[in-house]
Structure 1
Amino acid sequence: MSLHRWNRRDWIKNAGALAAAGTGWTAQAQKAITVGFIYVGPRDDYGYNQAHAEAAALIKKRAGVKVIEEENVPETNAVQKAMQGMVAQDGAALLFPTSFGYFDPHILTLAPKNAAVRYAHCGGLWNEAKHPKNVGSFFGYIDEAQYLNGVIAAHQTKSRKLGFVAAKPIPQVLRNINAFTMGARSVDPSITTTVIFTGDWSMPVKEAEATNSLADQGVDVFTMHVDGPKVVVETAAKRGKFVCGYHASQAKLAPQAYLTGAEWNWLTAYAQIIDAAQSGKPHPNFVRGGLKDGFVKSSAYGAMVSEGARKNAEGVRAKMMAGSFDIFSGEIKDNTGKVVVAKGTVLKQTDLVLEGMNYLVEGVVGKV
């Protein structure tokens, strides 16, 4: 798969400056623009949609930017209507359709019909050979924060059984499950992670059932990859278990159970993409970044997290920030015993093979 290499190099060169700028955008005068944000769920879901909405709220403070939003838009033709409405009625010149299922076929259907409109999708993988130039994708290496979640979880677990409630076995989800497990097993190789897939991004009843089922199996620390972690967090807490959060902080939902969490900082990506649109630069087609780039972060540690656990996690974080730690390196086997990363191999976060991950690593109980 061929990607727009210039845009990637240009972003990597400037991402550090964006993150360090504090405001996340350039101070120079820019032309006025209307930007649309579309969410698959409610903006206050304590999760995926809230993380995007919180960043959009900061974008509203930027001079020359008008923000319009629509929530609870399903991954159906409804999103095409929402996007087209923002363009035709509100004059939107840049759209952030944030849910995974919005990309194909919905964005790819509308983009060729609206060549003057820019589409920036969260999580999709832009292909230079077949996708329009006015389409791009952005995402963050949140598996780095999930690896750190795993390190903390390993120090907290007594049963050596961790639980992961997940929506769908797509590459980004599998990458998080694997990173969390590898982080935990770096502390104690006997630890296992049992995963249950609910089948969709927001399935509150199934999420509660999965959490209770895992608790019944002896799991005592949970994490997740669903749109709204609220149900998993509250259910685990009621069962007297611990939680590592995801997307945004859920600490105030269960302060006695919340260890830490993997959070997004979408302002960094938004700022770069909006800056390009306002200044007339080419649309960034492939935008990625991790902890050191300011795309992701960790929740504050809960009071119950030991000093030893913090020291362990912070030592790994320092290496990640310095660019000297690679999660997927050395010999790695999947949970059937097959070698999926050969001995001596180092996969950088930018390696495209990770974008297509389709396996669960050794130590994960479950099937793709």
Structure 2
Amino acid sequence: MRRLLGMAVIITAIILTACSNGKGTTETSATNAPSNSDEAAATPASESVKKPRVAFVYIGVPGDGGWTYQHDLGRKAVDEKFGIKSTIVENVPEGPDAERVFEELSAKHDIIIGTSFGYMEPMVNVAKKHPEVKYLHATGYKTSENLGTYAGRGYENGYLSGIAAGMLSKNGKIGYAAAFPIPEVIYTINAFTLGAQSVNPDVEVQVVWTNTWFDPAIERQAAISLLDQGIDILANYQDSPAGIQAAAERNIMALGNDSDMNKYAPDTYITNPTWNWAPYYVDQVQQVVDGTWKSAAYWGSIKDGTADIAPFGRNVPQEVRDKVESVKKDIVTGAFHPFTGPISDQQGVEKAAAGKSLTDEDIHNMMWFVKGVKGTVPK
């Protein structure tokens, strides 16, 4: 579940600078109109697929890290594998403008990929009108014959990140600057908390909502508010490194999100969840080329390489690394599930009995915090 809002005005200036990368991929104009590759313009969408015509719609721009950056690495893998130049449409907010973009792309593409949760309704609407086109929607929950969904099991790498944070915390007070109150963010915070409590039972995780995916000023402010409360570890669920940079100024160790953010605070960086979408994208495009593609709801994991954690920061002790790697192996083999009971919510209501694991449906619809999280889930 990702990316519910458009970018702030201050970010637009950064985006316009980043768009001109000169690497042969197609870009978009300032009005978000799709810019198609030569391959995409050559033949109408009704013809059989020889060289796939693929389009990616991004909520932001790739930059050098974060959610969109990881998806763009997957896009590059597709281009290399199939010898094409995918169409890219960047900085597309959810709503009517998104639907217009998907509609325009549908005339000249075989496969269209939307990487934001908020694109769900626009993609559902457009897919109905273009049954010949295949659509892939990141983190959504609505599918149709020509619309599939995909996501990553963020509770797995979230739990591992929590173990590292819990082992490194001295006072048991961890801060978490959270993006939006949606299940994806909530179950990641819960898994993070359970991971920290597995090695440090008295840990409390204080949550502050930023209602942003990328706004360095707001995210820095949220980090400072948590640091002022006496936390000794900071976690973040945004694409900017503002939080870990604010923590570094006070010599507080911190975790980023989505990409390896080591370079932004090398002395105080711990790790964070990361994503690898390339294998999934290449597989889906290959299925379309082969004529075998069918709509599905895919949830990638650490085992299949979709989810992972970033390399540890240079000051993370070896015992922390070893513990995280040990649990990671158990997750891969299936010997351990992060949401295995006993688990209770903040009010002490049992959510999973001892030895029982929450189902995928339970996790997908999670709108409650586990015991030990300080904060509320806004309605």
TM-score bracket relative to the smaller structure: 0.7 to 0.9
What is the aligned partner in structure 2 of residue 24 from structure 1? none
What is the aligned partner in structure 2 of residue 356 from structure 1? 365
Helix, strand or coil for the counterpart of 1:258?
Answer: coil
AA in 2 matched with 1:108: V
AA in 1 matched with 2:117: F
Q: Structure 2 matches for 1:192-341, cutoff 5 A?
A: 192-226=204-238, 228-341=239-352
Unaligned runs of 5+ in 1: 1-29
AA in 1 matched with 2:99: Q
Q: Are the equivalent residues in 2 in contact too, given 1:33–1:64 (CA < 8 A)? A: no
Pair 1:102 & 2:119 matched: yes
AA in 2 matched with 1:106: P
Pair 1:80 & 2:99 matched: yes
Equivalents in 2 of 1:278, 1:174: separation in Å? 37
Deviation at 1:223, TM superposition (A): 1.7
Q: Are the equivalent residues in 2 in contact too, given 1:45–1:230 (CA < 8 A)? A: no
AA in 1 matched with 2:110: A
Pair 1:58 & 2:67 matched: no
Taking structure 1 as the reference length, what is the TM-score of the superposition?
A: 0.86
Equivalents in 2 of 1:61, 1:192: separation in Å? 46
Q: Are the equivalent residues in 2 in contact too, given 1:223–1:243 (CA < 8 A)? A: yes
Of 40, 48, 65, the match for 1:46 = 65
Helix, strand or coil for the counterpart of 2:70?
Answer: helix
Deviation at 1:355, TM superposition (A): 0.8
Q: Aligned pair in 2 of structure 1 residues 222, 45: CA closer, same or farther (>3 Å)? A: farther
Q: Are the equivalent residues in 2 in contact too, given 1:162–1:194 (CA < 8 A)? A: yes
Of 136, 140, 160, the match for 1:124 = 140
Equivalents in 1 of 2:241, 2:57: separation in Å? 21
Equivalents in 2 of 1:116, 1:364: separation in Å? 47
Pair 1:188 & 2:238 matched: no
Helix, strand or coil for the counterpart of 1:132?
Answer: coil
Equivalents in 1 of 2:316, 2:298: separation in Å? 34
AA in 2 matched with 1:216: D
Q: Are the equivalent residues in 2 in contact too, given 1:100–1:124 (CA < 8 A)? A: yes
Q: Are the equivalent residues in 1 in contact too, given 2:216–2:240 (CA < 8 A)? A: no
Unaligned runs of 5+ in 2: 1-48
What is the aligned partner in structure 2 of residue 367 from structure 1? 376
Q: Are the equivalent residues in 1 in contact too, given 2:94–2:118 (CA < 8 A)? A: yes
AA in 2 matched with 1:285: A
Q: Aligned pair in 2 of structure 1 residues 206, 45: CA closer, same or farther (>3 Å)? A: farther
Of 26, 34, 42, the match for 2:53 = 34
Deviation at 1:316, TM superposition (A): 0.3
- Structure 1, residues 252-298: CA drift from partner, whole Å, max 9, x if none? 11111211121001112212211221111133321112111111111
Deviation at 1:176, TM superposition (A): 0.5
Structure 1 ranges of 4+ moved more than 6 A: none
AA in 2 matched with 1:95: I
Alignment root-mean-square deviation, CA? 1.6
Taking structure 2 as the reference length, what is the TM-score of the superposition?
A: 0.83
Equivalents in 2 of 1:292, 1:273: separation in Å? 18
Q: Aligned pair in 2 of structure 1 residues 45, 235: CA closer, same or farther (>3 Å)? A: farther
What is the aligned partner in structure 1 of residue 110 from structure 2? 93
Equivalents in 2 of 1:76, 1:233: separation in Å? 32
Q: Are the equivalent residues in 1 in contact too, given 2:345–2:371 (CA < 8 A)? A: yes
Q: Are the equivalent residues in 2 in contact too, given 1:75–1:102 (CA < 8 A)? A: yes
Q: Are the equivalent residues in 2 in contact too, given 1:51–1:247 (CA < 8 A)? A: yes
Equivalents in 1 of 2:90, 2:264: separation in Å? 22
Helix, strand or coil for the counterpart of 1:263?
Answer: strand
Equivalents in 1 of 2:362, 2:206: separation in Å? 24
What is the aligned partner in structure 2 of residue 142 from structure 1? 154
| Aligned positions, number | 329
- Between the two proteins, what is the percent identity of the paired residues? 32
Q: Are the equivalent residues in 1 in contact too, given 2:245–2:265 (CA < 8 A)? A: yes
Deviates more, 1:70-79 or 1:199-208: 199-208
